[in-house]
Structure 1
Amino acid sequence: MSNGSLRDASVVVARDENDLVALLSADFPAHGGAYLFLPGGRREEGESPLQCALRELREEAGVSAEHWTPLGSHAITLKSPARVHLFEARHLTLGAQELTATEQDFQLMWWPMQDALRAVSEGRFLLPAGPLALLLAERRGQER
């Protein structure tokens, strides 16, 4: 794992049997308003990318999953060795969100995959890892 602020992160496409995807929304005043994003966050000390994904999905969306598929690992920025690890989670069990103090305004929504992809093309996502994960999950689904 990288030191300090250079920690890797994990992002999750949680997709249910009806092809609905867990999306989060929150207001980001520094960026001009509300944006969408996928459950995810930085790895904690000693966590693997998958352990981070499991924890972040449970905390931010209140969801656990039986089936996990890696969607790739990608550089976060040009100047950092940190990577973002993307996953698709299936066979979901829903529970309560376990939001931290800084996440209290996160609103969980379930969107059809095609609507989430449309939101990607409309620029409604704050961070690039979410759109990339959605596109890779959809591509993987079409190949099955």
Structure 2
Amino acid sequence: MNAHPEETRSAAVVVARDEAGQVALLSSRFPRHGGEFLFLPGGRMEPGEDPEMCARRELREEAGVSAASWRPLAAYAITLGATARVHLYLAEGLTLGPPELEPSEAGFALAWWPMAEAIDAAAGGRFLLQGGPLALLLADRTS
């Protein structure tokens, strides 16, 4: 069985950490999955993008944030049968601006959380996707 092309594209997920140690978390309702969940800025790579370009674009679009400093944290396979990878980044030296949300992202809300509270939320099952909690844990180790 062949996977849909969008399902096999690599992606990037970003921990944007400000000078106070707070991280940018997005939230939105996902009725299909039973409620509201937290997530980090991120998404699938567009044609011609490398992972860092994708991370920069997604952070700007979803959170309205640009960063002066970028550090790769890790990358992992989406599934055992796929070659697509999720690339995790830490972004610091932040500049805030307006988000550039797509119509499908209209319900995204940005909030700044202390790292420890974000990790507690991940441990409490408030994240729908696994990339966010892993990226938070790895970013926390770099502080």
- TM-superposition CA deviations, 1:77-102 (whole Å, max 9, x none): 12211100000000000000100010
Distance 2:109 2:39 in 1: 10
How large is the RMSD of aligned CA atoms in angstroms? 0.9
Match of 1:77 in 2: 79
Q: Which runs of 4+ in 1 moved over 2 A?
A: none
Calculate the TM-score normalised by the size of structure 1.
0.95
**Structural mapping, 1:34-53, within 5 Å:** 34-53=36-55
Q: What amino acid is the match of 2:29?
A: D
Distance 1:90 1:60 in 2: 16
Match of 2:5 in 1: 4
Q: Secondary structure at the match of 2:100?
A: coil
Offset of residue 38 of structure 1: 0.1
Q: Secondary structure at the match of 2:99?
A: coil
- TM-superposition CA deviations, 1:97-128 (whole Å, max 9, x none): 10001000000000000100100110100100
Match of 1:100 in 2: 102
Q: Does 1:23 pair with 2:17? A: no
Q: Secondary structure at the match of 1:111?
A: strand
Distance 1:93 1:87 in 2: 16
Equivalences, count: 139
Match of 1:14 in 2: 16
Calculate the TM-score normalised by the size of structure 2.
0.95
Q: Secondary structure at the match of 2:142?
A: helix
- TM-superposition CA deviations, 1:8-60 (whole Å, max 9, x none): 00000000000110000000011100000000000000000000000000000
5+ long unaligned stretches in structure 2: none
Q: What amino acid is the match of 2:124?
A: E
Q: Secondary structure at the match of 1:78?
A: coil
Distance 2:94 2:132 in 1: 19
Distance 1:115 1:91 in 2: 21
